[in-house]
Amino acid sequence: MSLSIQRMLALPCHVRAQVFRRVLAAPAASLRPFSTSRPVNQEPTSSVNETEVSHFNALASSWWDPHGSSRLLHLMNPLRHDFIARCRATTTKDAKEKLHYLDIGCGGGIFAESAARRSHTASVAAIDPTPSVIAVARKHQRLDPLLLEPGRLEYKQIPLEHLPVPSSPEQGYDIITLFEVLEHIRRPSALLASALPYLKPGGWIIGSTIARTNISWFTTKLMAEDVLGIVPRGTHEWGQYIMPNELFQWAKIQKELEVEQDGRGWMVQGVMYVPGLGWKEVGGSEEWGNYFFGVRRKIEGGG
């Protein structure tokens, strides 16, 4: 029995009754319109969801409180770095190579700061369209002199489409991250496609999101937001969750990416939050809950 269900059964009877009524009324796991086609001569559209910007503006002041509204993001951060290292280990020969990161949807900078402090990091560019969270990120950056070194960590309050594209593929980023981003925007496939020109050949796009299943509705919406209150209410919209196979099918048809049926150039890892223990890797849980994913850009001529 999962810890979430154990905690639910410990609730007063009238609360349990309300929970079970909500479960019976839960949405069926229908397909989300996640486009896998390549847009043809499509005008650029904004990746900004104004509703989400307003929501995260309201949470900005508590972003760096390890016991506040972003507590689960703080706890997840070590697993983010572990997954990046695992992706790179499948193809990288030089473990000491200095990496250039682009963190899309950086929020208050939890991942961006930690990446900028790592010994193998050359630079981190972190972008987010939300004014308050970028202000919080810059303020917190000033607490660490290391992060103020020229070029080490730069925040920009812009959406991806306003970031200058590198002059050549080789000038791109080694790692592009989108942690807890895709489920908060209306057109995730368009954002992923827009990120490809910024990625260096051999580089990885790495992110995290949530599978769209009845189990994830129960754990992330009903339990986490409504019952336990460990995530602010309204943080997630279940209909915007993405199944890992939808991401895989999208990646397979992108000519820039190296995604093979044998798994080369594609990685996925399910993770689960265990109260009292934190986030844990759970094989197979990517099919029904939170997960990391990674896709690699081709190197022309192989590699």
Annotated binding site for S-adenosyl-L-methionine: 80, 105, 128, 179
Rg (CA), the chain: 19
Q: How far apart are CA 228 and CA 221, in angstroms?
A: 10
- Give the CA-trace dihedral at 180, 50, 52, 60, to 10 degrees: 100
Query: What are the phi and psi torsion angles at 20 (to 5°)?
Result: -65, -35
β-bridge partners, 2: none
* DSSP designation for 28: P
Place of tokens 């954002």: 191
> Which amino acid, 232?
P
Alpha-carbon torsion 61, 67, 72, 74, what sign?
A: positive
- Find, among 270, 259, 253, the residue nearest to 296 by Cα: 259
Helix axes 131-141 and 50-59, enclosed angle (nearest 10): 40
Residue list for the binding site = 80, 105, 128, 179-180, 183-184
Residue 72: which of 215, 192, 236 has the closest Cα?
A: 236
Binding residues for Mg(2+): 180, 183-184
